[in-house]
Amino acid sequence: MKTTLIIGASSGIGKALANKLMKQKESVIAISRNLPDANFSHYHQHDILSDHELPKIEGAIDGLVYCPGSINLKPFRTLKQQDFENDFKLNVLGAIKSIQAYSSNLQLSKNASIVLFSTVAVQTGMSFHSSVATSKGAIEGLAKALAAEFSPKIRVNVVAPSLTNTPLAEKLINTSDKLEASHNRHPLKRIGQADDIANSVEFLLSENASWITGQIFHVDGGLSSLKV
């Protein structure tokens, strides 16, 4: 039975992914700041931004998915250095901390896979996205470097979504006008759902993706590559 560690499994994409994997009778270890409303094989409450060490896990881990992220959209002129530091700490240093903590567990697996998250705003420049695009751009560079360093034992890939209907994006789609405008920005005329992104992550964790590493998967309704 495969074991997947999901950091940030209590809501949004992490929760959707956990539900999919548990339906496949896979073992899910969840780490999150907030208590989840699901029964995982193992659960640890932990704030990735704290100075405390991550929980110890015994045995092999087949997949590690780092879900915590931020959507800090402000004009560049109003951003403070602290904004960039906060986004970088959550998006990048938290992922690094997690991978370093559990790399030895991943080494015990026969088909280990790490999946990280970027954003469509790295591929496609967008106003007010300078802070999040900076940290997520770093994630893409980190993933490619680790994919090379960890090969052939551990695969590392990135999913880069566009706007997705999760609690993190609530303020961007909390009126009918905002939601309609967001739908219309995408060639497929809808924003993403948590399951759309979770489906891609589930694939990258699976044996079906065993010849894929160092890739950035743009799961964004066509926004990064199409103009219609």
Give per-residue pLDDT as tens, 163-192.
999 999 999 999 999 999 999 999 999 999
CB 63 within 8 A of CB 115: yes
DSSP secondary structure, 29-97, as one string: EEEESSPPSS--SEEEE--TTSSSPPPP--S--SEEEE---------GGG--HHHHHHHHIIIIIHHHH
Query: What is the pLDDT averaged over residues 22-46?
Result: 90
Task: Domain 3-164+193-219: give its CATH code.
Answer: 3.40.50.720
The model's confidence at residue 81, banded by pLDDT at 50, 70 and 90, is: very high
- Where are the chain's structural domains? 3-164+193-219
Per-chain mean pLDDT for the chain: 96
Q: What's residue 41's pLDDT?
A: 81
Dist. CA 195–CA 193, nearest whole Å? 5
